[in-house]
Chains A and B, each alone.
Chain A
Amino acid sequence: MIITCPWCGPRDLREFTYRGDGTITRPDIDSENVDLAASFVFDRENPAGDHLEIWHHGGGCRSHVLVKRNTLTHKIITCGPLGPFSKNGAKA
């Protein structure tokens, strides 16, 4: 499988590690809401179809990539940047 890292280009899956669901949002650092905290840790959708997920390019530039992938066909639909530089948009 190939993931296109926004900074490095298309790379073999072996350079990446799966880091979990890309649809969840962590509550603010100051939040004291237990339900939100628990939901962030434990609640997950498990779609049979397109799934937004986060991969870590640890064997490359060490940035994180937001990937939309179909869990039935494994086809990768989009790969987008994450991290401080993603606001600047495209590749370095």
Chain B
Amino acid sequence: MADRISPLQGLLIKGRYGKHADMDIASELVISHRMCTSLVQVNAWPDTDGKVRATLQRSTELKLVGGSKSPANKDYTILPVGPGRYLIEAEIDDLELQLRKRIVSDQGAVIGLSHARIVITLSGAKATWVLSKGIAVDFSPGDFPLCSCVATSHHDIGLTIRRTDDDRFDIFVFTSLARSFWQWLEKAAGEVGYEIE
């Protein structure tokens, strides 16, 4: 089986960059990235939304509480990205197949997006500061608490952002736009200094 290649391969090299790069000060921003083992979008219709949510909850053992709350456990994360629209990331590699078996075509649509996004993770005290440079969403803990997720954009680059911990965010970026987004992000992060894991 051929290897998957991420658009950021070879660009995100372990090390310390930007301000304080060559100094012995702890980085206030750590950046890493990953491809998704499985990423699937499930779209329901108004009369089938209830059933689809039930199926998703059963399959992932997560509880969907509504609004922009994005629940997660060790193996699954569900990100609600619109009315009747759910983005699911999973550690198993055949999520699309599994869900297609459980959600018939007149109940909902199952769309494989495992190659359509890559995930950049920002963590550290300066994560919110750097994110706020490019995205017009209030990421303060009060307005964007743990497990919040938002579908937004940076210029024409669509992004889905989720808070996974106190100072930690997952950013889902379109694969074809990943390098362009990274070009902005590394400059924005350079001001505060960052470390790549």
Contacts and interface: CB of A to CB of B under 8 A. Distances in A.
B153 interface: yes
B150 A59 contact: no
Interface in A1-39: 7-9, 11-12, 14-15
Interface in A44-74: 58-63
A83 B158 CA distance: 21
B128 interface: no
B66 A61 contact: no
Interface in B32-84: 45-46, 49, 66-68, 80-84
B152 A15 contact: yes
Interface size range on A against B: 20 to 34
Contact of B153 (A14, A81, A84, A87): A14
B111 interface: no
A28 B153 CA distance: 35
Given A7-B82, A91-B67, A92-B82, A60 B46 contact: no
Counting chain A CB atoms within 10 Å of each CB, which of B84, B150, B151, B155 scores highest? B151
B46 A85 contact: yes
B136 interface: yes
B151 A8 contact: yes
B85 interface: yes
B83 A92 contact: yes
Given A14-B136, A59-B158, A8 B84 contact: no
Contact of A84 (B45, B67, B151, B155): B45
B95 to A, nearest CB: 22
A14 to B, nearest CB: 7
Given A61-B83, A83-B83, A92 B67 contact: yes
Contact of A11 (B45, B80, B82, B152): B152
B83 A60 contact: no
A60 B67 contact: no
Chain A to chain B: the 5 pairs with minimum beta-carbon distance, closest first: A61-B82, A59-B153, A85-B83, A12-B136, A92-B83
Interface of A: 7-9, 11-12, 14-15, 58-63, 81, 83-85, 87-88, 91-92
Given A7-B82, A84-B84, A85-B84, 15 more contacts: A12-B136, A59-B158, A60-B82, A60-B151, A60-B152, A61-B151, A62-B151, A63-B82, A84-B83, A85-B83, A87-B46, A88-B46, A91-B66, A92-B83, A92-B84
Interface of B: 45-46, 49, 66-68, 80-85, 136-137, 150-153, 155, 158
